[in-house]
Amino acid sequence: MEHQRVINSTILREYDIRGIYEQTFFVEDAYAIGRSFGSLVARKNGKKVVVGYDGRVSSPDLEAALVNGLKKSGLEVVRIGRGPTPMLYFASTVMQADGAVMVTASHNPKEYNGMKFMLGGKPFFGKQIQDLGAQVAAGDVVPEGNGTVRKVDVSEDYINRLLEDFGGTERKLRVVWDNSNGAAGDILTRLVQKLPGEHIVLNGTIDGDFPAHSPDPTVPKNLVQLQKEVANRKADIGIAFDGDADRIGVIDDKGNILWGDQLMVIFSRDILASNQGATIVADVKASKILFDEIQKAGGNPLMWCTGHSLIKAKMAESKAVLGGEMSGHIFFADKWYGFDDALYVAVRTLDIVARLKGPLSEVTESLPKAISTPEIRFDCSDERKFTVVREVAERLKEEKANVVTIDGVRVNTEDGWWLLRASNTQAALVARAESTSDEGLERLKNALKAQLKASGVEFPEE
């Protein structure tokens, strides 16, 4: 059949499609995916699909092929053009689209590209992505139809909506932004013109070669430029985005990095002040401090699996007002729509900081302290990684350890906790440990190493 196309299985990830352009992911794949995803939408009696793309060099060609595939499936295709992934989520939500596709490889290096999807207003992930790959390979599509294509500029509506929940007029802030040459550039430039205070934008030009640094704000070296500029300008705060602006990085006035779970403490306290008893979801990698602080502030903390699609789905199910991950995906659902939008998170952060009596660093430094490892990733084949976690879980069960098994194993001891889980996006295991003392952290790491050794896996020396 003319529609059959076998796509490289490595690009079918847990939350999206992602591969190296013209090595594992091709323009022909984009067309075939458009044809198959479009058929999925059409079979559910859907009519409208919204499409956007990021600032990568290969994105316009992939977007054009994708649109063609969707159109030939008989759909109304709305092209919103180049911008951040959350602008696509926004367009899909307000237009009540039946499907949405974003051409992006998020924070990956420049040679990568991919796609993120929504179907029926919900995240499209996991088995759905595997099934889509099988559908493409089988050429299982609806008969060719005459769809329509139109361009719509949602940027002004999006910017105005971002500003709606900003009330922070108590004091004017000096803010340094690092766009990381990512897809938010044009929107950010226009957004800061409408915000009070003084705004300095670094790497504001959208450039798919990412000349300044890799567009990943969870890696400390990518925040060095921002830290220097905050110090030089004596700014109140620094804010960084990843390549498609669905993840945020924040540094305070003293250059301290606020990790995802620390930001979540600040947001939780603010939201719970007027939403007592509300549920807040955080991923299994987050600090125990976050779950304790949510409880202290009168909230209902819910630990869930890592992964932005999984957190979004759990939030909808539990009617949570806020969700977040260590990786900087933050989801507001008190006034916002429950999807991860770093621009919106930035606006809410500035709103909170403008209301503080002192500098942000006072809040950072007053947070309860824990000593933790960074996220440790080590290679383990896709075939073996889940087995290792299962073996560890079985041994811990025999030892009658205190274990949470919603996503890998999170082991609680008197010293703190350690985590081992299989990465959903790489042939790797992921580990983390947290304690209140150096000695406790050492004991936790030794317990983790012993479990890995029993399964024949070497713990990487830091």
Helices (DSSP H) in 57-126: which residue ranges? 59-71, 85-94
CA atoms within 13 A of residue 114's CA, in its CB half-sphere = 25
pLDDT value, residue 20? 96
Helix, strand and coil percent figures for the chain, each rounded to 5: 40, 25, 40
pLDDT value, residue 426? 80
CB-CB contact of 90 with 41 (8 Å): no
For residues 92 and 97, give the distance between their C-alpha atoms in angstroms, rounded to a whole number: 5
pTM of the model: 0.95
Closest CA to 136 of 39, 64, 61: 39
For residues 420 and 406, give the distance between their C-alpha atoms in angstroms, rounded to a whole number: 11
Q: Does residue 447 surpass a pLDDT of 80?
A: yes
The CATH number assigned to the domain with range 9-154 reads 3.40.120.10
CA 20, 26, 27, 29 torsion-angle sign: negative
The residue among 332 and 326 whose pLDDT is bigger is 332
Instruction: Work out the average pLDDT over 361-388.
Output: 92
pLDDT value, residue 203? 98
How confident is the model over 94-107, as pLDDT tens digits?
999 999 999 999 99
CB-CB contact of 253 with 359 (8 Å): yes
**Percent over 90 (pLDDT), the chain:** 91
CA 346, 55, 192, 232 torsion-angle sign: positive
Closest CA to 258 of 344, 166, 367, 334: 367
Q: Supply the DSSP symbol for 10.
A: G
Q: Which residue has tokens 């125990």?
A: 288
Q: Does residue 3 surpass a pLDDT of 90?
A: no
How confident is the model over 143-201, as pLDDT tens digits?
999 999 999 999 999 999 999 999 867 789 999 999 999 999 999 999 999 999 999 99
How confident is the model over 73-91, as pLDDT tens digits?
999 999 999 999 999 999 9
**Percent over 70 (pLDDT), the chain:** 99
For residues 359 and 363, give the distance between their C-alpha atoms in angstroms, rounded to a whole number: 8
pLDDT value, residue 168? 66
pLDDT band at 4 (very low <50, low <70, confident <90, very high): confident
pLDDT value, residue 236? 98
Class of domain 173-366: alpha beta
pLDDT value, residue 375? 84
List residues with catalytic annotation.
106
- Which has the minimum average pLDDT: 124-138, 347-361, 414-428? 414-428
Helix (H, G, I), strand (E, B) or coil at 412: strand
For residues 254 and 231, give the distance between their C-alpha atoms in angstroms, rounded to a whole number: 7
Every domain of the chain and the residues it spans: 9-154, 173-366, 371-454
How confident is the model over 282-330, as pLDDT tens digits?
999 999 999 999 999 999 999 999 999 999 999 999 999 999 999 899 9
List own/partner pairs for 313-316 with CB under 8 A and 24 or more apart: 313/122, 313/123, 314/281, 315/281, 316/122
pLDDT value, residue 169? 73
Instruction: Work out the average pLDDT over 65-77.
Output: 98
The CATH fold assigned to 371-454 is TATA-Binding Protein (3.30.310)
- Fold equal for 173-366 and 371-454: no
Distances (CA, A) of 89 to 121, 342, 417: 9, 12, 35
Q: How confident is the prediction for the chain on average, in pLDDT?
A: 95
pLDDT value, residue 462? 59
Instruction: Work out the average pLDDT over 54-63.
Output: 98
pLDDT value, residue 374? 83
For residues 97 and 426, give the distance between their C-alpha atoms in angstroms, rounded to a whole number: 31
